[in-house]
Amino acid sequence: MINVIELFAGVGGFRLGLEAASGFNVVWGNQWEPSKKIQHAFDCYARKFEGNGIHSNEDISIVDGENFKGQDIDMIVGGFPCQDYSVARSLSGEKGLQGKKGVLFWEITRLMKETNPKYVLLENVDRLLKSPSKQRGRDFSIMLASFRDLGYSVEWRVINAAEYGQAQRRRRVFIFATKNETPYVMNGRNYDETQMLHEKGFFAKAFPVKEGISEKKKPQSFIMKKDLVEISDAFSMNYYNAGIMRDDLVYTEEVTPIEEAPIPLREILQSDVDEKYYLSEAAIEKFTYLKGPKRIERTSATGHKYVFSEGGMAFPEPLEKPGRTMLTSEGTVNRSSHVVEDPQTKRLRFLTPVECERLNGFPDEWTEGMINRMRYFCMGNALVVGLIERMGRRISEIEKENIDGNQVELELVFTETDAK
């Protein structure tokens, strides 16, 4: 069994996917929403996984690493917030570095130091690779350098769930870090960076990509600077949708997925839907405006006039395609909410909470027990469970390689012998 700590757990998407893959034991999960009297997500998590592991509802910054002594933590997972990861010298200069207060990524690295896991699997919005806008790639570079300094190699991939057979066009960046002394990392040194991204690496086997190198976006490689403050102050980089860092060498490339047929919206719709989900005439009129194309003259705070333009969106949603990216505002009258024509009644309506759960691959009624507004909110924050299940199976393969030790070298020897 691979012992797991789940951070920023939400309603348990990571855990559901790992448990579906089997071979994982989530020994501790943390979910805490600051400034909330009712902890809806935590309550759901604790209810669904009652009796399995410890459930923590406290600020992660005050969690003591001593809690994990003797538990042999193998992996940390979590979907952490996209924040400003800038760092600076401490006031005295010689006492090391200080990160911006309240940034939760530093809590991940703190727990990595205290538990020394073999694996770390994280999820974030894909704009992480380009943030901040005035120094593109800085934040991700700080993360990569931090992992390197802790003795990890890193692979990343931006994955659109619908391109790998899921029901939602949800793009997220996934980051997989592995301890350098593991056989998986050491065996991987038999392959160059392109081979790792296309054939042999973590994501390549779970989420296959097409052969060949992008002509428009040439691969880039560089040596990561040693000084985190120098990276924070001046470094920028245009990261592509896939990449790998081993030691100081970072390589990034734009890869093209070998697409699988997605689940269309039609297949996740419920029948006999309650009247409260149907749109009034006023709501239909509002949606027609919100989702339509626009060219509006506006005046900035400085008095500058400009034209705000916005393209039109499908209204209602095409049922033969997968759903768009679901946001936390789902189920309200705004441009991003899904509106479908109900196949039974031919009337326009919102998606139900259960349909939103299905978009993310959760079991029906997973978030039952909280108000609808929070059910939509939690699903807007959730990840696609099916992707994590595939990653879990891939981690199990890597764990077997780490136990077997020399699996890859043996395969290479056999290949060379056969060739003779």
Told to judge if 378 belongs to the known catalytic residues of this protein, a careful annotator would answer no
d(CA 281, CA 255): 45
d(CA 106, CA 146): 9
Nearest to 375 by CA among 388, 389, 358, 397: 358
Determine contact, residues 271/354, Cβ cutoff 8 Å: no
Element (H, E) at 251: strand 249-253
Q: Which residues does 299 contact at the CB level (< 8 Å), separation at least 6?
A: 305, 306
User: What does DSSP assign to residue 101?
Assistant: T
d(CA 375, CA 73): 31
Nearest to 339 by CA among 326, 295, 328, 357: 326
d(CA 99, CA 101): 6
Residue 400 in 3-state DSSP? helix
Q: Which residues does 50 contact at the CB level (< 8 Å), separation at least 6?
A: none
Please give the C-alpha separations between residue 321 and each of 7, 183, 262, 264, 327, in angstroms, as whole numbers. Answer: 33, 42, 8, 5, 18
Catalytic residue among 44, 82, 356, 378: 82
Which residue matches tokens 């060739």?
Answer: 419
d(CA 231, CA 144): 11
Residues known to be catalytic: 82
